[in-house]
Structure 1
Amino acid sequence: MAFRKLLSALGIQAPSIETVVENPAVRPGETLRCVVRVRGGGAAVDIERLRLDVVVRAEDHEADGSTAWQHPHPVATADVGGFRLGAGETIVRDVTFQVPWEMPLTHGRGVRLPGARAAVRTELVIDDAVDKGDFDEIAVHALPAQDAILQAYETLGFRLHEAEVKVTAEPWPAVMEDRRTQPYWQEIDFFCPESWSRGREELETVFITREDSLDAHPGGNPPVTFVYADLEQQVWTEALGKHVRHCWGMD
């Protein structure tokens, strides 16, 4: 983004900042690269803290509205620390994040997931005043294995509805075989086809993703686990359908 003035209380000669996300389209497990340039104003100042967060829209942190974006949840943080910024001086910092394997997605099969948002947020503190800056939005695309599960649901007749991120450190019920490593998860909601509904209008699925495999939890039930090296679309579609039918007592 363009240079933006910081902390209006410091006046027209305040410092300005620019954060550039070099690869704004990433997948879980990849590295996100950012460059931050802080340009000094009319006088030297002490930057107490410069911090970047990767944040996501968390459904239970926001007021009503499918795209509310006022209280995002941080999923990764890079604390650059403090430094002295001279008048007119430009200081550049390279910042990288390892995107968590359980990172909530914003895109599946190349299409934006309704309700899903992610961004890099820049926070700078001068004289105990905090400037959280603007969000630089990023796109978090599904891994091939996640896309395969989304495709499987479509093949089985389910229709994508929306995605929501939930935040809590509480464990799941034992029946769900909780293997999370993060205090958040993303629910991807689908409309059920009539032949599957059994009184249900929607099915929510949670991906718990690792480097080599993922758990797909349909509707609060135990997971079916898929290993990336074994990816075969037809086989996975049949396995997912069989698992959901079993969980719903349809077999």
Structure 2
Amino acid sequence: MAFRTFLKSLGANAPSVETVIANRAVRPGDRLQTHVTVKGGGADVRIDRLVLELVTRAEDREGDETGWNRPVAFAERHFGPFELRAGETLAHGVDFDVPWETPLTYVLGRPLRGGRVAVRTTLEIDNAVDRGDFDEIAVHALPAQDMFVEAYQRLGFRLDEAEVKMGIAQGGDNQTMPFWQELEFYFPDYYRRPQGDQLETGFYARADSLDVFLGPTGAYPFEYAGLTVEACEKWLDAYCRKHWQM
């Protein structure tokens, strides 16, 4: 039975759930704080599960540019089963540790085209499921990630968009998620451009360091301590000169 039909059978005063996100702007490794309120309707019901998930859009799973048709869940908190009496209100504070490899939606303080992450609330009653609403959040780049993006810009690269792809990326030995995020940069004119004109870049972030992988050449580790934009720019320029001589 469809969930909406099930709720309709309970009458106008059906159960409801609301998720309020306390801090919509986070970075990988932060703590996301939410507050969930479940209100009972006109009859007692048994809630099988209340689930909160962090989800992202993977381009090879979605049929359009904007919808949340088949989102990929990568962190979860769940409650239940429990009884919800008529008119009763139950509230839960639910916190998430934002995984280090969470896709970015902002870099250098600006929205990143193609990057989307949300909190999805799911309510399950009598084997019927309501996927609820998608509350989007802003995932800002770590300082080291912003340094590399700024280094690209200093060298004349232009950021196009980001894509989340399913599977394990080449060189992704430290990858822990079933997907990776790829940032696509257009080459400046003074490099000999490879086929496709874009340098695809990914970050595998950890608490103290990250791996940068560029195109098909594997991953390169960088520790956060002592990292500067100038060091990122110097390394990136040397890398591009080696692979795409000017």
Q: TM-score, normalised by structure 1?
A: 0.90
Determine helix, strand or coil for the equivalent of 2:80: strand
Matching residue of 1:215: 211
Shift in Å, 1:98: 0.6
Q: Which runs of 4+ in 1 moved over 4 A?
A: none
User: 1:225 aligned to 2:224?
Assistant: no
How far apart are the structure 1 equivalents of 2:244 and 2:199?
A: 15
1:230 Cα deviation after fit: 1.5
What's 1:89 paired with?
Answer: 88
* Superposition pairs of residues 64-143 of structure 1, within 5 angstroms: 64-65=64-65, 67-143=66-142
Contact 2:52 2:78 in 1 (8 A): yes
Distance 1:31 1:111 in 2: 21
What is the rounded CA distance, in whole Å, between the counterparts of 1:245 and 1:160 in structure 2? 19
Shift of 1:195: 1.4
Gap change, CA 1:42 and 1:153, over 3 Å in 2? same
Question: 2:58 maps to which residue?
Answer: 58
- Measured in 1, the distance between the counterparts of 2:213 and 2:240 equals 9
1:6-45 equivalences under 5 Å are 7-45=7-45
Mapped contact 2:194–2:244 kept (Cα < 8 A): no
Secondary structure at 2:29 match in 1: coil
Q: Which amino acid aligns with 1:108?
A: V
Q: Is the 8 A contact 1:7 1:131 kept in 2?
A: no
Question: Are 1:224 and 1:240, in contact at CA under 8 Å, matched by a contact in 2?
Answer: no
Q: Residue 218 of structure 1 contacts residue 244 of structure 1 at CA under 8 Å; is this kept in 2?
A: no
Q: State percent identity of aligned pairs.
A: 50
Unaligned runs of 5+ in 2: 1-5
User: How far, CA to CA, are the matches of 1:87 and 1:93 in structure 2?
Assistant: 18
CA contact (8 A) 2:193 2:244 kept: no
| TM-aligned CA deviation for residue 243 of structure 1 | 2.0
- 1:172 to partner: Cα distance: 4.4
Partner in structure 2 of residue 3 of structure 1: none
User: What amino acid maps onto 1:85 in structure 2?
Assistant: L
Q: Which residue of 2 aligns with 1:154?
A: 153
- Unmatched 5+ stretches in structure 1: 1-5
Aligned residue number for residue 180 of structure 1? 175
RMSD value, Cα:
1.6
> What CA distance in whole angstroms lies between the structure 2 residues aligned with 1:165 and 1:7?
35
Equivalent residue in structure 1 for 2:185, among 182, 190, 215 = 190
Residue 7 (structure 1) shift: 3.5
Aligned residue pairs total 240
What one-letter code is carried by the residue in structure 2 that aligns with 1:76? Answer: A
Structure-2 separation of matches of 1:33 and 1:7: 28
State the distance in 2 between where 1:186 and 1:54 align.
15
SS at 1:114's partner residue? coil
